[in-house]
Amino acid sequence: MKYTLDTIPVLDAFKSNCQCPLCQLAISCEDGYIDSLLSSAYMEPEVRIETNKTGFCPQHFALMYARRNKLGLSLMTHTHMKEFLPELKKILDDSSQEKSGPLPFFRGKQKSSKAEMLRNQIRRCHICTQVDTAMRRYAYTVIRLYLDKAEFRDLMRQKGGVCLPHTALLLELAEEAFSAKECQEFEAALSQITLEHLTALEKDLYDFTLQFDYRNAGKTPDPRVRDSVERAVNRLAGAIVGTEAERPAHND
């Protein structure tokens, strides 16, 4: 796959006050796709072909449902169900499976349980696919900037790297899209930055837990460690709690 650079949003995210710039870019991308889908993109035939085929994951169904305007969501869900029901019948109806043999996407597999086939069907999501594609482009840009620009290397060090899910994405992409030498250089630097940051965070979190010790009752909590639970959770799992996980407000 050929990747293009998307420098400005990456630099803006790394300069902003956040734990993981890639999480902030993912939230912003996701919000933009949901906006575009619910405002008019759901009427575009090529978009509808995709949403009919894949549907949405629980998180993205919930985010769309939270918007006030339900027309786009109801139309997309209806035509997805219409297309999905015959597939569902093939999975759940034994007589239909016997007649037609295994489903095309499971051919070659000896035996797939109904549960496994069902999970594979409902796991797909149009918005996840769009966000994943954009995040790979951003990850590619991060690695390129790190290798080429001393100023960006400083930014990466100041941030202490990114959350662990996005660390995995960066390592995967470095291996996939860069030369062995570049990959090795980036991987060594990112690993060191990540380990240093997480070691310091573990210490902050430990200090935070000590505040609950009865021997420290009445002492002023250390402001340095006040948000360490939030920081640790978001580092380990991606931005899922607190201000880091906040999404833009909408009235539509």
The residues that touch Zn ion, with contacts defined as CB under 5 A, are 20, 22-23, 57, 60, 125, 127-128, 162-163, 166, 238
Quote the least distance from Cβ 65 to Zn ion, whole Å: 13
Query: What's the one-letter identity of residue 64?
Result: M
Angstrom distance (rounded) from CA 41 to CA 108: 36
Quote the least distance from Cβ 22 to Zn ion, whole Å: 4
Tokens of 223: 């402001």
Task: With CA atoms as reference, report the closest residue to 232 among 188, 199, 187, 210.
Answer: 199
Quote the least distance from Cβ 146 to Zn ion, whole Å: 16
Quote the least distance from Cβ 93 to Zn ion, whole Å: 27
What are the DSSP calls for 35-59, one per residue? HHHHHTGGGSHHHHHHHHHH---HH
Nearer to Zn ion, 76 or 90 (CB): 76
Quote the least distance from Cβ 71 to Zn ion, whole Å: 20
Angstrom distance (rounded) from CA 250 to CA 38: 12
Q: Is 67 helix (H, G, I), strand (E, B) or coil?
A: coil
Nearer to Zn ion, 22 or 225 (CB): 22
Nearer to Zn ion, 116 or 132 (CB): 132
Chain-centre distance for alpha carbon 106: 27
Nearer to Zn ion, 55 or 225 (CB): 55
Name the region of 3 (left: φ>0; alpha: ψ -120 to 50; beta: rest).
beta
Query: What's the one-letter identity of residue 158?
Result: Q
Nearer to Zn ion, 160 or 238 (CB): 238
Q: Rounded to 5 degrees, what angle do the CA atoms 8, 14, 19 make?
A: 145
